[in-house]
Structure 1
Amino acid sequence: MQPVFKFQPISFSWVAVHPQPKGVIQFIGGTFFGTFPTVFYRDFLKKLFADGYTIVALPFRFSFRHWPIAVSLLQEQEILRKELTEVAKKLGWESDIYQERSSYFWVGHSLGCKYIALLEFLSDANWQNIANQCYGQDENRQIQKLIYNSSIETPSIKGQPSLLIAPDISNTESAIPIRALAVLLDKLGLGVRPTRAETQCFIAGSSLFNLTALISFDRDDIAGSVRDIDKSLEVQKNSDVLWLVEQLKARDLPVLTREIEGTHLSPIAIETGNYIVGLNHFNAFIKPIKYRLLEAECVKFLSALKLKSAPKVDR
């Protein structure tokens, strides 16, 4: 049967259920656009569905406190494992796959990637010791309290591959463009937590992130580009893409990376006939669809990550 791409609300997510899924993609986008993933990322997600995945579009929630949102994604996954199994059974479709944690993938764009990175860090058996070094004991206790109150038996995405697209490890200045106000909020303790530096410390201290792929864009002035290596030290310092690639290429299973033509908003595009209409700093651009590489690269990386995920391989 020809699978029909159609979103339906399940729990707090929008889900397109594939009749014969080879996996489940859990997608979370960036600020504003990610709040309406079935609108702004629809054609992007449709291509992944067509390749054989059930799609879970997790609506973005704006907050300066990123740990509660990350933990809530784990709670949502546990709910969806049960709900998707029941929905598939009622339709007479493949349902056993939804009970297998290894069938789930994480795909993020922009700030959505930060939440996935926090979950990956939380999956490290040594995360509390690392958090004490990066974050302080008070913050560590707050994370433990969040996990306890969530009633999640195993707060981990270990063994679940992650694809990060134009990852933005946000600071307060990323959320608030008025620098003076951002600085004031940080001084008052009301800014983004964990900060960019704290998140980098978590990632650097973790032994995981071995089932990770990263797609970047050559003209991305928000998340950065691997080309930033040839730019000023200040640009290099603020390039999340460059930092992640340099950090993760030395892992047991080096990060899979590919930089393609485009800007930070390249995943947000609409297909119309033989053309793609996208956004470039809120200005529309139109290009032939045959030059669109993003979805093909995503499909390729997801397949490669699945092959890399062996039972005895530590993430």
Structure 2
Amino acid sequence: MNCQEISGNWVYLPRKKIIGIIHFLGGAFVATVPQISYRDILEQITREGYAVIATPFVNTFNHFTIAREVLNGFETVVERLKRTNMLTQGYLPIYGLGHSMGCKLHLLIGSLYEVERAGNILISFNNFPASQAVPFLEQFNISPVFGVEFAPSPLETEKIIVDNYNTRRNLLIKFDQDNLDQTNMLNHLLQNRFPDLTTVRKLVGNHLTPLNQTIQWKTGEFYTPLDAIGQWFNQGMSQNVNQLKRELLTWLNPMSAF
């Protein structure tokens, strides 16, 4: 597989025939280095024949601006890949894939701009106001800022989705130990628009599960209790990530399950 930086985006191209394009947007504060934070998942999707364009962004309070900028970045890369014949000039389905704040950005893109998407995969969606984003910020040792609100605000975001969101097919993924997740609320909004095309999957894991990497635990010359604990811990984490990968790929291509 070929991974390279193009116009500030990280682009993964499969060695086999490309069957679709994925636009990936990560969560706040880890989205600046998606090629590192989400490497395992992005590489697995690429191996299945999808060209992945991961657009980094720096989080600010103006999510309108970020959505416009990441869309511009994505479209610039697609055009460049087509001009250089790295992508076919024919039709390829485009899917949005977002985690946490990346979900909100894909929802804004699908509501405010005329984009064609075969579907969106939204993992661990949350839409907290700035003053309540404390648990998420604390995980990254960042002090919350009070008295400032995101644009659009949570209520404004909900209204934008209800009135304008135009991506019909959606997969929503939530984790059983994720106290930051608001997927149920998002599902309610989307069910009102596309009741037969919105699917929810609940998996084992937490808000940071998509960031986990599959690590091969190597034992020393002698097998020790520490090796047993390490392998057990790694196996549990790997199972969660692998289950997430299977859900993504099955939804993208149902025939891959057979």
TM-score (norm 2): 0.80
Partner of 1:106: 96
Gaps of 5+ in 2: 138-142, 219-232
Matching residue's letter, 1:108: G
- In structure 1, stretches of 5+ residues that fail to align are 123-154, 186-190, 224-239, 276-284, 305-315
The 1-side partners of 2:144 and 2:13 are apart by 43
Match of 2:244 among 294, 298, 311: 294
Q: Could you say what the CA RMSD is over the residues aligned between the two structures, in angstroms? A: 2.5
Decide whether the 8 Å contact of 2:215 with 2:234 is kept in 1.
no
Residue identity opposite 2:89 in structure 1: D
Per the alignment, in what secondary structure is the counterpart of residue 40 of structure 2? helix
SS across alignment from 2:183:
helix
Over 3 Å counting, the alpha-carbon distance change for 1:176 and 1:64 in structure 2 is farther
CA–CA distance in structure 1, aligned partners of residues 169 and 23 of structure 2: 15
Other structure's SS at 1:63 match: coil
Give the TM-score of the pair, scaled to structure 1: 0.67
Following superposition of structure 1 onto structure 2, how do residues 16-55 of structure 1 map, counting pairs within 5 Å?
A: 16-19=12-15, 20-55=17-52
Distance 1:111 1:103 in 2: 23
Q: How does 1:1-315 map to 2 (within 5 A)?
A: 4=1, 6-19=2-15, 20-87=17-84, 89=85, 95-97=88-90, 100=91, 103-122=93-112, 155-175=113-133, 182-185=145-148, 191-206=149-164, 208-223=166-181, 240-252=182-194, 253-273=196-216, 286-288=234-236, 289-290=238-239, 292-303=242-253
What CA deviation, in whole Å up to 9, does each residue of 1:36-85 have, x standing for no partner?
11111001111111111011111132110000111112212321122112
CA contact (8 A) 2:97 2:121 kept: yes
The 1:32/1:182 distance shift into structure 2, 3 A limit, reads closer
* TM-aligned CA deviation for residue 17 of structure 1: 1.6
Change (3 A) 1:104 1:263: same
Which digits, 9 at most, give the CA deviation of each residue in 1:105-124, with x for residues without a partner? 110000011010001111xx
Letter in 1 for 2:47: A
Paired residues, number: 231
- Quote the Cα distance in structure 1 between the aligned partners of 2:197 and 2:88: 33
